[in-house]
Structures are given as structure tokens and as C-alpha cells.
Amino acid sequence: MPKQLYWIHGTKKAAFVSNSNVETAQQEVQYEVAELLKNRMLGTNNEYIEVISTGQQTSVQSMSGVSSVSTSSTENENLLDYLQAKVTTIRSETTDTSTAVTLVRQYIDLPYLNLKEDPMQFWKNHFSVLDPLTELALKYACIPATSVPSERIFSKAGQIVSQRRNRLSPKN
């Protein structure tokens, strides 16, 4: 249940009784966001890029080793090559876990939502900033639109009917 409470933006940490429950939920969310980010990176083929500079030639290669761009140095391309190298360096220093921790921290630092406001609207409005968190929030915060399982649990008639169905003979 901790993760479900965590996604109600109006409550965030306030919904928990103890700080240990908050920390547990936060760690679970960070782990799940990191896994989601890792799966996205693996799902988008050749997302990680390696820049190899040798003298006058710069080639940009994917992890598969296939050269996707090869350029000779000119003034315009030098700037692009420099920027690509910087971006690649930053990407290599950033891990899925650190990105997940940062996203969760951004979410926590946002002001609390009025409890009467629609939480789904909040996630739609913050999708561009909190994209992976939005996906998980929709996964945990949405309630199924059926009451059938709860009727089976709380209805004596549901239990009797289920038991009878269980014991039907082959001729019926």
C-alpha cells in the first residue's frame, strides 16, 4: 500500500504515519523509476552514444560499433562535435538510479496539491517534467472501473455461487 499513497499528490509524505514508511515507499519508487528508465534505454536501440576523437576525424558510434556519423573537422562541425562530446560525457556520468532519485526529489519538492483538485490533471500538467513518474503514478493511482472482485469478497451469495460452480458435475 505505501506506493499507492505516495502517488496522491495532495498527500505525498503526509499520508504516512511514520518516517520509516515514507523512506520505504520512496526507495521503492526510486527503484521502480530506475528500472523503468533502464528498460526505456534498452528499448530505444542505440540510445547510448560513444564519441571517438582522433586528430582531424570525429566519429560517433553506437554501442553496437556501427559508425552512424563520420565527419571531417570544419569550424561548424567542431562546435557540434564538441557539444556532442559534452552531452555524451554527461550521459555517461548520469546513471538511471541518480536520475530516478532526482525525479523523485523534484516531485517531493513540488507544492502540495489541494485534495479537492483532480490528481490526474496534476500528472497530465507535469508530464513533460516528471514523465517516468507520471507513468508509474497512473499505474498505481488509477482504480479499476469494476466492483466485481469486491462483491465476491464481501458477498455471501458470491461465495455460495462460487462454491456451487466449483462442484458442478460433468453432465451439467
Answer whether residue 95 is part of any domain: yes
| Lookup result for grid cell 562541425 | 77
Answer whether residue 120 is part of any domain: yes
Answer whether residue 12 is part of any domain: yes
Q: Rounded CA gap, 60 and 5, in Å?
A: 44
More confident residue, 56 or 128: 128
> Does residue 123 carry a pLDDT above 80?
yes
Answer whether residue 116 is part of any domain: yes
Q: Rounded CA gap, 161 and 30, in Å?
A: 43
| Residues above pLDDT 70, as percent of the chain | 48
Summarised one tens digit per residue, pLDDT across range 79-107 is: 788 787 777 666 655 677 888 888 888 88
Question: Poorest-confidence range of 53-67, 118-132, 153-167?
Answer: 53-67
Q: Given this model, what pLDDT does residue 21 score?
A: 77
Answer whether residue 53 is part of any domain: yes
> Does residue 1 carry a pLDDT above 80?
no
Answer whether residue 46 is part of any domain: yes
Q: The domain containing residue 54 runs over which residues?
A: 2-141
| Residues above pLDDT 90, as percent of the chain | 0
Return the exposure string of 9-35: e unless at least 16 CB atoms fall within 10 Å of the residue's CB, then b.
beebeebbeeeebbeebbeebbebbbe
Answer whether residue 152 is part of any domain: no
HSE-CB for 115 with a 13 A CA cutoff: 5
Number of domains in the chain: 1
48: number of Cβ within 10 Å: 13
Q: Rounded CA gap, 41 and 39, in Å?
A: 5
Answer whether residue 109 is part of any domain: yes
Cα distances from 90 to residues 9, 41, 95, 143, in angstroms, run 31, 15, 10, 39
Cβ atoms of residues 13 and 111 within 8 Å: no
Q: Rounded CA gap, 65 and 49, in Å?
A: 10
Q: Rounded CA gap, 104 and 133, in Å?
A: 8
Summarised one tens digit per residue, pLDDT across range 52-65 is: 444 444 444 444 44
More confident residue, 81 or 168: 81
Q: Given this model, what pLDDT does residue 148 score?
A: 61
